[in-house]
Amino acid sequence: MIDVRLGNGFDVHAFTEGNEITLCGINIPFSKKLLGHSDADVGLHAVTDAIYGAIAAGDIGTHFPPSDPKFKNASSDLFLKHAVQLTNQLGYEINNVDCTIICEQPKISPLSERMRTSISEIMGVDKQRISVKATTSEKLGFTGREEGIAALATVTVSKVE
């Protein structure tokens, strides 16, 4: 029997003053930065939470509490690597990742291949199993007003029993 599981993750971070953002593990020159306890990488946070959801292991806050000062300004690849390691320890294999970035700016399409490569390298999963795409919110809500960025991710895992 094959045990197939699906998890989803969602994250948002507001913009603040700065000159660079980190999305899906890549640094992007920008007129602002994302505000967060860690590097505020909404893409990696959503993917990480989707993995934790698929294996029923809580969320990022369960494993890396924002109240813990040792994770202040942490690189989000730390969180994603932990989720992948835990998945492997439980005997699951990550089948695919689908991540959607929701923002008006920066434009994600020209960056999506680099983002796919980054996630693939962090996770040790073939790039052909990683999707990164974007949408706007048609100028509606906080992302439409360019106050921040949101991300949604879905991940499937499986193991043969």
- In tens digits, what is the pLDDT along the chain, a chain of 161 residues? 889 999 999 999 999 999 999 999 999 999 999 999 899 999 999 999 999 999 999 999 999 988 888 888 889 999 999 999 999 999 999 999 999 999 999 999 999 999 999 999 999 999 999 999 999 999 989 999 999 999 999 999 999 77
In the chain, count of helices (H) and strands (E)? 5, 7
What DSSP element (H or E) covers 95? Answer: strand 93-102
CA distance 101 to 120: 17
The model carries a pTM of 0.96
Architecture, CATH, for domain 2-160: 2-Layer Sandwich (3.30)
Name the DSSP letter for residue 70.
Answer: G
Q: Where are the domains of the chain?
A: 2-160
Q: What share of the chain is helix, strand, coil (3-state, %, to 5)?
A: 35, 35, 30
Diameter over CA atoms, the chain: 52
How many angstroms separate the CA atoms of 158 and 135, rounded? 29
